Amino acid sequence: MRIAVCPGSFDPATNGHIDIIERSGLLFDKVIVAVLNNPKKQPLFSVEERVEILKKTCGAMKNVEIDSFTGLLTEYAKSKNANVIVKGLRAVSDFEYELQMALMNKKLNPEIETVFMMTSSKYSYLSSSLVKEVARLGGCIKGLVPEIIEGEIYKRFK
Ligand code: PNS
């Protein structure tokens, strides 16, 4: 059974993330979306909220599970019997850091492969931090994030 972990901060999940999760679900038997619990960061949404948002948005994807994790990603993947890490790649600018993480994860556990999936072109400019900046400044984020959180993002900046 091919189990993939799709890790990230998802603060908040964007439609770019959802697209990668959905397409991963077509390639693997099971996809575990793993929200990083990073106590060092001051997030817009709590880990519990991020998990809930993803559960609601990905509810129809039958082989997709939503979870959270702390600590090393490779340890988490191993605990879930996952042998693949799926990451989305947008622009060349993502590549250097993603390569570094992929090689470090390979060093930590050579049995786990990192697989990169190219973003859909319509989401190639999208990131959680840009969405937050646009919302904070009152710009339109329609179509960039799941509909259920559009309003909530603006509220958090009031
Ligand atoms: O959405 P993000 O913030 O780009 O996701 C980054 C994430 C969660 C994939 C990365 O920070 C991570 O894997 N963190 C877990 C800690 C870890 O394993 N670090 C060493 C790997 S290089």
Judged by DSSP in three states, 23 sits in helix
Q: Is the pLDDT of residue 40 over 90?
A: no
Domain ranges of the chain: 3-156
- Catalytic status, residue 128: yes
Q: Which residues contact 69 (CB under 8 A, 6 or more apart)?
A: 7, 34, 35, 36, 37, 76
Whether residue 101 has its Cβ less than 6 Å from ligand 1: yes
| pLDDT at residue number 92 | 87
How far apart are the CA of 8 and the centre of ligand 1, in A?
6
Query: Considering the chain, what percentage of its residues have pLDDT values greater than 70?
Result: 100
What atom of ligand 1 comes closest to residue 75's alpha carbon?
18
CA 88 – CA 120 distance, rounded (Å)? 10
Considering the segment(s) 3-156 as one domain, its CATH architecture is: 3-Layer(aba) Sandwich (3.40)
Q: What average pLDDT is seen over the chain?
A: 96
136 catalytic per annotation: no
> Token pair of 149, please?
């959180």
